């Protein structure tokens, strides 16, 4: 799943000290790269499944486990050490190293891949392309991908004012809520993948 709001803190750290125009170009490149990556898997998803002999239930189960694992990591993580007594987020050593990276070099990796179009988003696209194989259905998914890319660009473009408005605590709360929803989606993916397998076993038995 694509969650540009979760990428905002990383975007701010990675583009720290960059000009407004540079941040805008990085945001645009990240949005375009995210769209291109997901569109590629949308168009080539069936061929990947056929080449490796992967079934939709198998991919749904694996995707569900991936979603659930990522959600649990976010929900269980202890963020208390990341804040000082005033409630402001501490600058860690690894953040300083990231901030010194050339902003133009991080638009594709790691912002677009894997932060925006990570395994979860790719899994969702590949499941959708097999559940909805008709041309008009694929075009609907393609439109949704372009909309997601545009929204990602706009969110990253407004990362600084958005961060000031929400604050570090608000961002942490939002991340927990999104992780809870992501975990529920993961469980549902697993259920959807296991159900047809159990039915096939019962029929064959």
Residue 123 has pLDDT above 50, yes or no: yes
- pTM for this model (two decimals): 0.69
Short-list 176, 27, 18, 19, CA closest to 102: 18
The mean pLDDT value of the chain amounts to: 80
Instruction: Please name the residue that has the structure tokens 């545009």.
Output: 150
Structure-token pair, residue 65:
């486990």
- Residue 140 pLDDT: 93
pLDDT in tens, 24-80: 999 999 999 999 999 998 988 778 878 888 887 887 888 788 888 878 887 887 554
List the structure tokens of 1: 């799943």
Contact 159, 12 (CB under 8 A): yes
Residue 44 token pair:
């080539």
The alpha-helical segments, DSSP class H, found in 101-158 are 119-131, 135-157
CB 125 within 8 A of CB 145: yes
User: Which distant-in-sequence residues (6+ apart) come within 8 Å of 8 by Cβ?
Assistant: 155, 156, 159, 162, 163, 171
Q: What is the pLDDT at residue 81?
A: 46
> Per residue in 142-180, pLDDT tens?
999 999 999 999 999 998 888 778 777 887 787 788 788
> What residue ranges do the domains of the chain occupy?
4-204
């Amino acid at each position: 799943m694509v969650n540009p709001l979760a990428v905002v803190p990383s975007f701010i750290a990675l583009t720290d000290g960059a000009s407004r125009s540079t941040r805008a170009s990085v945001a645009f490149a990240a949005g375009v790269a995210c769209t291109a990556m997901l569109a590629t898997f949308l168009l080539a998803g069936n061929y990947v499944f056929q080449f490796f002999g992967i079934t939709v239930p198998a991919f749904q189960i694996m995707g569900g486990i991936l979603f659930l694992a990522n959600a649990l990591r976010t929900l269980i993580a202890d963020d208390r050490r990341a804040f000082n007594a005033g409630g402001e987020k501490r600058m860690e050593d690894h953040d300083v190293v990231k901030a010194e990276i050339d902003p133009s070099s991080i638009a594709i990796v790691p912002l677009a891949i894997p932060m925006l179009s990570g395994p979860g988003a790719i899994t969702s696209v590949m499941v959708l392309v097999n559940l909805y194989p008709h041309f008009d259905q694929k075009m609907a998914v393609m439109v949704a991908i372009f909309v997601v890319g545009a929204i990602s660009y706009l969110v990253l473009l407004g990362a600084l004012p958005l961060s000031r408005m929400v604050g570090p605590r608000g961002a942490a709360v939002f991340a927990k809520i999104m992780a809870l929803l992501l975990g529920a989606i993961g469980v549902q993916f697993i259920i959807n993948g296991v159900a047809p397998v159990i039915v096939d076993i019962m029929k064959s038995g």
